[in-house]
Amino acid sequence: MLNRKNYIRNFSIIAHIDHGKSTLADRLIEKTGLLTHREMKEQILDNMDLERERGITIKLQTIRLVYKAKDGNEYILNLIDTPGHVDFTYEVSRSLAACEGAVLVVDAAQGIEAQTLANVYLALDQNLEIVPVINKIDLPSARPDEIKTEIEDVIGLEAHDAPLISAKEGINIEDVLEAIVQKIPSPSGDENGPLKALVFDSYYDSYKGVVAYIRVKEGSVKKGDMIQMMATKKSFEVVEVGILAPGQLPVEQLQAGDVGYLAASIKDVKNCRVGDTITQLKNPATEAIPGYKKVISMVYCGVYPADGEDFNNIRDALEKLQVNDASLTFEPEASVALGFGFRCGFLGLLHLEIIQQRLEREFDLNIITTAPSVIYNIYKNDGTMVKIQNPTNLPSPSEIDYMEEPIVKANIMTPSEYVGAIMELCQNRRGTFKNMEYMDKTRVILHYMLPLNEVIYDFFDVLKSKTRGYASLDYELSGYQASKLVKLDILINAELVDAFSMIVHEDKAYERGRGIVEKLKDVIPRHMFVIPIQAAIGSKIIARETVRAMRKDVLAKCYGGDISRKKKLLEKQKEGKKKMRQIGSVDVPQEAFLTVLKFDDHK
Amino acid sequence: MNNIKNKKLGLYIHIPFCISKCYYCDFCSYANQNELIIEAYCKAVIKEIMDFRNSDTDYSVDSIYFGGGTPSSIKAEWIGDIMEAIYKKFNVDEGSENTIEINPGTLNESKAGLYKASGFNRVSVGIQSFDDEMLKKIGRIHNKKEAITTINTLSKLNFRNISIDLMFNLPGQNQSMAYDDVEKALSLGLSHLSYYSLKIEENTPFYLMQQKGELKILPDEIERGIYHGAIEIMKKRGMNQYEISNFSIPGYESRHNLKYWNREEYLGFGVSAHSFIEEKRYANVNEVDRYINNVQKSVKEYALFEKLNDKEKLWEYLILGLRKIEGIKIQDLNEMAKGKTEKIFEIFLSLEKKGLVEMNTENIRLTMLGMDLSNMVFVELMD
């Protein structure tokens, strides 16, 4: 039995975004002969359109490879995918907890980036053996020797024999496979002990119910077993276990060291959360695998149908998305301006954008999202504390003693020439400088404490543009801090539009209010009357712009009796009008709601 | 078509050739075409006319319109041949209004004489402006002098019904420049004037210039000021406005144009030509080669084909009829809507409140504000 585990390697690939993680995965699959090149869709692991478009992984794909190594033995290599963005740190840590090792892909031209480090630290937290690989050596700007030194200096990993590869060109892929076999330890764990299986991903299948992707750490599990989820205490009877070969291939049983899937007619993903430990109902394990966390939403926003009739369709769509995404939360709410909709909670701004786009693309819904918000702690004069994330629910200022806002610890890695620009940005976003570390002669890591509500307003976009794309960011919640916050309201034609309200720091209110009214002035079409657009704190107007009255909306002649063209133009105009939200007597285009999402303070 | 009975028909012939393309033009026209293509094209138009299926004779044509492009840019003999085919194929009324569009710089006395001999009694001259610098700026090939010479040539040959096209809202134009154009036009003793506001269309040189920030269009306030002022000037000089962009001495309204606004039937021949007959709208293909090819093979191919339902008919009736200054007759509206007018009147009442339309017991018409914001009115009427 010991023999069996000697020929298993469980590993992840970790990398900074765009350093070639998915391409390497493709090559490993191809090299081990699992799929021929023709059968393989480009980047098989990122199979959601949106993922491919953004070059990031959202849902995990796990795959079992069989590799005949140079020592003549056949090895089972379980490649466990990890999502590639700061919003999904917890998911990454659970995937890594299912492994004994990680292949660290570093771009031969760009070297170590913030997420490289963040992922390495996560891997080290799990005591993984890290196998560095230097990718993109085919690039003219590749400098593999320098990168090796950088890995040794900055991370402290032995890198002199790191495989030098080009995943894109298929160069030296075998070196990676050999390194996996030689360097990553085989799994340990007692097949005969009480079952401990880590859930590192789950999704809903309409036939099988929730399918959990698991790593068996101890013991074994087979069809017919009664299992229990150690965090939720729910029990189920196992219907099927199998391996991911790829695709689901049922097997007799999964034992310590194995990676595979398990189906047990579980109806709700909430009962099978990532990070939970599965054990046997009889002879249960005494302790769960450490590290389980119930993920909490950090960013909230309202999601409303552009067309009021779509309310139920949005609910259906959110329910469907939630089935595979336990970190998405939502509850119905009502807005004066937008009618009935949902308040949704997300892991971060990227998660928000992904959900928003999936609602639009996969479910063909026309939605309006309100300004994102975070959770504030409101300490009232009567000594009680309430948590609010919808600005509309903020108690009146007279009831409030003080307010707290969430603060994140942000690590920004950047070439040193941009330090000034980044410090200015962080300063501008109320950041507190912690310290700066030199990674090498040209690059530094800046550590800042930043209010999360400053990060969720296009911080990342501005950071990228100020550093020409070179800086990278990761952040984690560090705690709450008292802060002078106010509610900023926007009035259109003297009517308060609750969907635009936001909580901002007192010192930023004027600037933000001004920015928003200026932008709204440009996106709200002219009407027959003059429309004032105002920003206000309480009853005090802090900024005002005016949309002038429309003077002209007329078509020129029609040549040769082409009435159809004229009609089409009018129909288009009508369509545009239909997509607008009527607030009082003003038609507000959806674009207007985006202007508060993307506040730009370059100027 | 067997069932064209007791009908008045308009005919539109498209001549898609020009000496050069103006910077604002996005219509179907080609500069610098060679003689062979022009010949093939005109022969195709003649074949298309002759191939038109009609066995009945109980109908008649009361307007013929040659538009373009620049019909006067090709040999007058071709125009004559096409006219001949029309007269051979269709019953043309004695008093039919037969118009040809011409551009200054493409006409001489003998050409004008040939037009006259071919049966044309109305000429529409694309002058656009009398300001030489402005003409260059918008890509016209003629100057003020040639424009005036052209009008004189036409008068000399006894064309009584002369219309010109003028444009305003031109780049860098101010009110006095615009009114100089109007005054100059009125001094020429014309019977009809079309007054169009420049609109920047996609796929034109002006559009590209605008995208690059090289072309500044006038603010709406100035543009409307020019329009309102020009209407006043023309009114004082006896030119009656009968449609948003059209003015004439009473009795000289363009019969052909009115067909469009009155939803009367017309047939279009030539590339990209539009037809409206028996509540169907259709158009020929937009490429000359393809058009010629189709006609030669007797293939009917449409770039557009729509059959109108009652709701569409009603909307068309409203948006076309309201472009006329006299507006629409409530009696006609009742007939068109088959009595279901409750909702329409509701909309009209709200438009009246906003000052966009005027209603009395017989008519509904746009106010001046309504004309300025006519798209808004038409969009409201869509439901």
Q: How far apart are the first and last CA of chain B?
A: 34
- Is B336 within the bounds of a domain? yes
- Listed by number, the residues of chain A in 526-555 with a beta carbon closer than 8 Å to a beta carbon of chain B are 528, 550-555
- Is B283 within the bounds of a domain? no
Helix (H, G, I), strand (E, B) or coil at B8: strand
Q: What is the pLDDT of residue A128?
A: 94
Distances (CA, A) of A143 to A35, A110, A136, B96, B165: 32, 9, 10, 83, 68
Question: How far is residue B35's CA from residue B17's CA, in Å, rounded to a whole number?
Answer: 11
Closest CA to A292 of A10, A478, A92, A94: A94
**Any idea which of A79-83, A215-219, A263-267 has the lowest mean pLDDT?**
A79-83
pLDDT at residue B239 tops 70:
yes
- Is B285 within the bounds of a domain? no
Residues B197-218 have pLDDT tens digits of 998 988 899 999 999 988 888 9
Q: Do residues A188 and A8 touch, judged by C-beta distance below 8 A? A: no
At which of B224, B245, B261 does a domain end? B261
The whole-angstrom distance between A563's CA and the closest CA on chain B is: 8
**Strand ranges of the sheet holding B357-359, from the earlier edge strand across to the other edge:** B328-329, B363-366, B357-359
- In a shared domain, residues B150 and B41: yes
- In a shared domain, residues B250 and B315: no
Distances (CA, A) of B29 to A10, B100, B177, B266, B343: 68, 16, 29, 21, 42
The phi and psi torsions of B112 (rounded to 5 degrees) equal -60, -40
Q: What is the pLDDT of residue A574?
A: 87
Which residues in chain A are contacts of B260 at CB distance < 8 A?
558, 561, 563
pLDDT at residue A57 tops 60:
no
Mean pLDDT of the residues in chain B = 92
Question: How far is residue B327's CA from residue B312's CA, in Å, rounded to a whole number?
Answer: 18
- Is B341 within the bounds of a domain? yes
Q: What is the pLDDT of residue A600?
A: 55
- Residue given tokens 């975004």 in the structure block: A17
DSSP state of A559: G
- In a shared domain, residues B59 and B202: yes
Cross-chain Cβ contact B376/A567 below 8 Å? no
Task: Output the six-digit token pair for B341.
Answer: 């007018």
Cross-chain Cβ contact B319/A574 below 8 Å? no
Question: How far is residue A182's CA from residue A187's CA, in Å, rounded to a whole number?
Answer: 13
Question: How far is residue B29's CA from residue B43's CA, in Å, rounded to a whole number?
Answer: 18
Please tell me which of the candidates A555, A556, A560 has its beta carbon nearest to residue B274.
A560
Spatial neighbors of A551 by CB under 8 A, at least 6 apart, are A526, B220, B221, B223, B224, B372
Where residue B51 sits, what CATH number does that domain have?
Answer: 3.20.20.70
The residue of chain A with its CA nearest to that of B267 is A561
Task: Output the six-digit token pair for A15.
Answer: 């990398």
Question: How far is residue A250's CA from residue A232's CA, in Å, rounded to a whole number?
Answer: 26
- Is B297 within the bounds of a domain? no
**For range A286-309, the mean pLDDT:** 84
- Is B60 within the bounds of a domain? yes
Helix (H, G, I), strand (E, B) or coil at A221: strand
**For range B114-126, the mean pLDDT:** 96
**For range B10-19, the mean pLDDT:** 95
Question: How far is residue A585's CA from residue A357's CA, in Å, rounded to a whole number?
Answer: 30
Closest CA to B293 of B322, B275, B271, B315: B271
Q: What's the sign of the alpha-carbon dihedral A508, A513, A518, A524? A: positive
Q: Do residues B111 and B97 touch, judged by C-beta distance below 8 A? A: no
Q: What is the pLDDT of residue B1?
A: 42
Q: Do residues A255 and A195 touch, judged by C-beta distance below 8 A? A: no
Q: What is the pLDDT of residue A215?
A: 96
The model's confidence at residue B4, banded by pLDDT at 50, 70 and 90, is very low
- In a shared domain, residues B330 and B206: no
* Full DSSP string of B293-362: HHHHTT---EEEEEE--HHHHHHHHHHHHTTBTT-EEHHHHHHHTTT--HHHHHHHHHHHHTTSEEE-SS
Residues of chain B whose C-beta is under 8 A from some C-beta in A? Answer: 12, 14, 27, 65, 67, 194, 196-197, 199, 220-221, 223-224, 244-245, 259-260, 266, 268, 272-276, 281, 283, 304, 306, 315-316, 319-320, 354, 371-376, 378-379, 382
- In a shared domain, residues B243 and B342: no
Question: How far is residue A448's CA from residue A432's CA, in Å, rounded to a whole number?
Answer: 5
Cross-chain Cβ contact B320/A563 below 8 Å? yes
The phi and psi torsions of B11 (rounded to 5 degrees) equal -120, 135
Mean pLDDT of the residues in chain A = 86
Q: Do residues A88 and A117 touch, judged by C-beta distance below 8 A? A: no
pLDDT at residue A46 tops 50:
no
Spatial neighbors of A394 by CB under 8 A, at least 6 apart, are A376, A378, A388, A400, A487, A503
Cross-chain Cβ contact B376/A528 below 8 Å? yes
Q: What percent of chain A has pLDDT over 90?
A: 48
Give the residue with greater pLDDT, A108 vs A298: A108
The whole-angstrom distance between A551's CA and the closest CA on chain B is: 6
- In a shared domain, residues B100 and B167: yes
Cross-chain Cβ contact B376/A553 below 8 Å? yes
Task: Output the six-digit token pair for A165.
Answer: 């590869």
Residue A386, H or E segment: strand A385-388
Mutation target vs B (from A562, A572, A577; most B CBs, 10 A cutoff): A562
Q: What is the pLDDT of residue A557?
A: 64
Distances (CA, A) of A96 to B112, B177, B246: 88, 76, 76
Q: What's the sign of the alpha-carbon dihedral B173, B175, B180, B186? A: positive
Closest CA to A286 of A294, A277, A298: A277
Q: Do residues A104 and A121 touch, judged by C-beta distance below 8 A? A: no
Angle at A417 between CA A412 and CA A420, to 5 degrees: 70
- Is B268 within the bounds of a domain? no
Which residues in chain B are contacts of A556 at CB distance < 8 A?
196-197, 199, 245
Exposed, middle or buried: residue A420 (CB in 10 Å: 0-12, 13-18, 19+)?
exposed
Domain count, chain B: 2
- In a shared domain, residues B74 and B218: yes
Looking only at Cα atoms, what is the longest distance across chain A?
Answer: 87
Closest CA to B77 of B110, B51, B104: B110
Residue span of the structural domain in which B172 resides: 8-261
Residues B338-373 have pLDDT tens digits of 878 889 999 999 999 999 999 999 999 999 999 999
Please tell me which of the candidates B65, B276, B354 has its beta carbon nearest to residue A563.
B276
Helix (H, G, I), strand (E, B) or coil at A431: coil
- In a shared domain, residues B364 and B255: no
With b for 16 or more beta-carbon neighbours within 10 A and e for fewer, the A197-232 pattern comes to bbbbbbbbeeebbbbbbbbbbbbbbebebebbbbbe
Question: How far is residue A197's CA from residue A227's CA, in Å, rounded to a whole number?
Answer: 10
The residue of chain B with its CA nearest to that of A578 is B379
- In a shared domain, residues B222 and B342: no
SS (H, E, C) A240-266: EEEEECCCEEECCEEECCCEEEEECCC
Question: How far is residue B380's CA from residue B360's CA, in Å, rounded to a whole number?
Answer: 20
- In a shared domain, residues B245 and B329: no
Q: What percent of chain B has pLDDT over 70?
A: 97
Q: Is the peptide bond before A246 cis (omega within 30 degrees of 0)?
A: yes
Q: Do residues B3 and B56 touch, judged by C-beta distance below 8 A? A: yes
Residues B266-287 have pLDDT tens digits of 999 999 999 999 889 999 999 9
Cross-chain Cβ contact A562/B283 below 8 Å? yes
pLDDT at residue B103 tops 90:
yes
**Count of Cβ atoms closer than 10 Å to residue B212 Cβ:** 8
Q: What is the pLDDT of residue A562?
A: 84
Question: How far is residue A532's CA from residue A548's CA, in Å, rounded to a whole number?
Answer: 9
Question: How far is residue A108's CA from residue A147's CA, in Å, rounded to a whole number?
Answer: 6
**For range B82-88, the mean pLDDT:** 96
Query: What is the length of chain B?
Result: 383
- Which residue type occupies A593? F
Q: For the whole model, what pTM was predicted?
A: 0.66
- In a shared domain, residues B176 and B323: no
**Count of Cβ atoms closer than 10 Å to residue B19 Cβ:** 15
- Is B267 within the bounds of a domain? no
The model's confidence at residue A358, banded by pLDDT at 50, 70 and 90, is confident
Q: Do residues B4 and B59 touch, judged by C-beta distance below 8 A? A: yes
Mutation target vs A (from B260, B275, B304, B312; most A CBs, 10 A cutoff): B260
Please tell me which of the candidates B67, B244, B316 has its beta carbon nearest to residue A554.
B244
Closest CA to A277 of A265, A258, A291: A291
The model's confidence at residue A52, banded by pLDDT at 50, 70 and 90, is very low
Q: What is the pLDDT of residue A1?
A: 44
Q: What is the pLDDT of residue A85?
A: 60
Where residue B362 sits, what CATH number does that domain have?
Answer: 1.10.10.920
- In a shared domain, residues B357 and B245: no
**For range B17-32, the mean pLDDT:** 86
Please tell me which of the candidates A551, A556, A569 has its beta carbon nearest to residue B197.
A556
**For range B106-116, the mean pLDDT:** 94
pLDDT at residue A602 tops 60:
no
- Which residue type occupies B10? G
Residues A537-596 have pLDDT tens digits of 988 999 999 999 998 888 766 566 788 888 888 888 888 887 788 888 899 887 788 776
Residues B40-76 have pLDDT tens digits of 999 999 999 999 876 555 679 999 999 988 999 999 9
Question: How far is residue A200's CA from residue A277's CA, in Å, rounded to a whole number?
Answer: 9
The size of the A-B interface in CB pairs under 8 A is: 86
Q: What is the pLDDT of residue A601?
A: 46
Q: Do residues A488 and A504 touch, judged by C-beta distance below 8 A? A: yes
Residues A155-209 have pLDDT tens digits of 888 899 999 999 999 999 999 999 999 999 999 999 999 999 999 988 888 788 8
Which residues in chain B are contacts of A558 at CB distance < 8 A?
260
Which residues in chain A are contacts of B320 at CB distance < 8 A?
563
- Residue given tokens 């301006």 in the structure block: A337
DSSP state of A61: -
